[in-house]
Every structure is written in C-alpha cells, then in structure tokens.
C-alpha cells in the first residue's frame, strides 16, 4: 500500500490533527506533506500553489491520497486525485465553512466531500453533519480518535503544579481561543466560585483570535509546548469544556486518560465521550448557573470524582489506537 498524507498542520504545530497525522503516517511508514514546514514562510495563495505542485509531484507513485481536512489540504488533494486518477480518502473533523464564516468554503468542502472515494469522521455527530452536505452515508466511516499513550509522570499533583507555576484547586480548560469554546463563561463564574472556595484557579491553555478578559482566580497560559501538556492534566482537579461545537474532543480524551474528572457541554461529539453521571457531567452550553453548580458538585464529592475517573478508564477501551489503525487500514485498502 502506498499512501501520501496531505495535511494542513503537522508537529511542531499543536493540536489533535497534527498529532494524529504524525503518529499514523510514522506507523504506516508513509510520506506526509503539510503547510507546517518550509511552506509556512510563503504568503497565502503562493503557499497553496506550492502545496498543490508538491502534492502533484509526490502523489505520482502513490495509490491513495489521504487528506486530513476538507479545505487547505482537501481541495488540493481533490484536484490532484482527479488529475492523476488516484483514490482520495478524506478525514473530516469539523465544519471549516461554519468556523471561518466564509460562504465560498461551503462550496469547496461540499465539492471535495462529494468527490472523495471514502470519508473518515471521528464521531457520529460529524457523520450526520457531513451527510447534511449531501454526501451518501454509506461513504462515511466513523472511526473514533485515540489519545496518545500517556507518559509516565513520576511526579505528584503538588509537584506538577510547582513545575508549571500553579497552585490551589485547578479548574483546567484547553482549546483554541474562539468564541464557541465558551471560555468567557468560565471566567464570568469565577467570582462566585471563589466565594465558596478561595483556592479555585481557572487555568486556560490555548491561543487564538479571541481576546479573553482576565479576572480573579484566572490564569491565561497561552500556547504551551506539547511536551508540557501532560503536566497541566496532572495538576488539574477538574477539566471543563464549555464548547458549543465539537467534532470529537481530543482534550476530553486526554483528561479521561490522565484521570481528571470531566464536565462537558451536551454539544457535538461530547456525549459520545461523556455519559452524564457515569463518567462525567454534561451541562447546557453557556449555562453559567449549571456549569457553576456542576463544578461545585464535583469538587465537593470525592466519591463522585473517583467514580468518573474509574468509568472513564473503562470507556477509553472504545478509543484505542489499535482499533483506530485497524479500521483506518480497512478504509485505505478497500
């Protein structure tokens, strides 16, 4: 099997898609083209043209092109697949047109998705979304993502906090700083939470275009090296994801893996990871009262925390790397 991975981001870029591409391509010993290396220095437009030309050259000896998104990688891959008559497998993790609020992207992603031979999505929520673009459901395969193997951190929670400069009872949230991640709601409820427990500290890890206000008990960390992310999970007492739109959250998977009890919104693919009152708490998106009550309920009940941690370990068996590789190979070889 000869496959070329056409990616948008790639390490040292951070994010689940970058990690997924590096790990899978390395295991399968297949080449990768992305915007993250030498192409980054060129202006938009020229960068995309160079990407297309490079992919056209590299894909000559491949049997299949596996594009890791619908637009920046998917559209050039779609064109190359038609020119060279290669099979195109497409990974769809979200709705780029909705995220960027650009109408022309809607036409592009519909064209690419309909033109792909097979589509891999990380959740049933995303499958339903892609079917809404007019794509036949039989062409779409749900393959759950898997977290990276957790590094063996031989440090206590207290030591982890000291190494990254934190203290108190940590409420952790991770993601791109975009409005639909709901970070501003978490910041807004901190004064009320601090009245109950002055040791609470909300730690937000991530970067993006949204400018968040600071406030009492709030620490905006920004982007951190991927190697340090496990320390933040080790230091955390509760993980909260107040997102209005989520394909399948890699951050939730990591929180489950590192034994951090989770509170998540009932949106997107979150309910496929978190079963309410089984391995976490589900709350209404942007409902500050409900989020605040969930945080206090979880913080005050150690037995509930242990239950969620224990059940999350069991739930993670459905999200194994071995299962992901096996099912992906079935699609690529078909």
pLDDT tens-digit readout, 1-18: 899 999 998 887 767 788
- Taking Cα atoms as reference points, which of 259, 263, 269, 247 lies closest to residue 316? 259
The per-residue pLDDT of the chain, averaged, comes to 94
Structural contact between residues 253 and 313, judged by C-beta atoms closer than 8 angstroms: no
pLDDT given for residue 280 in this prediction: 98
pLDDT given for residue 12 in this prediction: 77
CA atoms in the 13 A half-sphere facing the CB of 316: 22
pLDDT given for residue 44 in this prediction: 87
Q: From CA 186, how far away is CA 150, in angstroms rounded?
A: 27
pLDDT tens-digit readout, 204-252: 999 888 999 888 999 999 988 888 899 999 999 999 999 999 999 989 9
Angle at 312 between CA 307 and CA 317, to 5 degrees: 140
Q: What is the mean pLDDT of residues 97-117?
A: 93
Torsional sign, CA 303, 307, 308, 313: positive
Give the DSSP H/E element, type plus range, for residue 26: helix 16-28
Angle at 174 between CA 168 and CA 179, to 5 degrees: 120
Against a cut of 0.85, is the pTM above it?
A: yes
- Taking Cα atoms as reference points, which of 179, 183, 227 lies closest to residue 203? 183
Q: From CA 164, how far away is CA 158, in angstroms rounded?
A: 10
Q: Which domains does the chain have, with CATH numbers?
A: 3-142 (3.40.50.2000), 157-319 (3.40.50.2000)
Structural contact between residues 265 and 185, judged by C-beta atoms closer than 8 angstroms: no
pLDDT tens-digit readout, 168-201: 999 999 998 999 999 999 999 999 999 999 999 9
pLDDT tens-digit readout, 30-42: 999 999 777 888 8
pLDDT given for residue 296 in this prediction: 98
DSSP 3-state of 252:
helix
Tell me which of 8-12, 166-170, 287-291, 293-297 is least confident: 8-12
DSSP 3-state of 132:
coil
């Amino acid at each position: 099997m000869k496959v070329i991975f056409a990616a948008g981001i790639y390490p040292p870029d951070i994010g689940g898609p970058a990690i997924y591409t590096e790990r899978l391509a390395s295991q399968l010993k297949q080449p990768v083209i992305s915007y993250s290396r030498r192409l980054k220095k060129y202006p938009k437009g020229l960068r995309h043209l160079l990407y297309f030309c490079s992919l056209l050259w590299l894909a000559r000896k491949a049997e299949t092109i596996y594009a890791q998104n619908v637009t920046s990688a998917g559209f050039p891959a779609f064109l190359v697949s038609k020119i060279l008559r290669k099979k195109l497998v497409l990974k769809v993790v979200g709705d780029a047109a909705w995220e960027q609020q650009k109408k022309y992207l809607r036409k592009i992603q519909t064209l690419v998705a309909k033109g792909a031979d097979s589509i891999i999505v990380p959740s049933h929520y995303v499958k339903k979304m892609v079917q809404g673009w007019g794509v036949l459901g039989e062409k779409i395969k749900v393959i759950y993502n898997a977290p990276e193997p957790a590094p063996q951190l031989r440090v206590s929670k207290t030591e982890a906090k000291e190494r990254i400069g934190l203290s108190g009872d940590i409420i952790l949230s991770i993601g791109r700083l975009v409005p639909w991640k709901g970070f501003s709601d978490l910041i807004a409820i901190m004064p009320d939470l601090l009245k109950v427990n002055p040791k609470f500290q909300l730690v937000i890890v991530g970067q993006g275009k949204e400018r968040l206000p600071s406030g009492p008990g709030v620490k905006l960390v920004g982007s951190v090296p991927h190697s340090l992310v496990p320390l933040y999970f080790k230091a955390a007492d509760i993980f909260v994801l107040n997102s209005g739109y989520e394909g399948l959250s890699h951050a939730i998977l990591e929180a489950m893996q590192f034994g951090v009890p989770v509170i998540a919104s009932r949106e997107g693919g979150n309910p496929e990871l978190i079963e309410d009152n089984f391995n976490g708490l589900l709350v209404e998106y942007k409902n500050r009262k409900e989020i605040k009550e969930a945080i206090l309920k979880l913080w005050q009940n150690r037995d509930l925390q242990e239950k969620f941690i224990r059940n999350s370990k069991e739930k993670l068996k459905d999200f194994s790397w071995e299962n992901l590789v096996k099912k992906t190979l079935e699609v690529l070889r078909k």
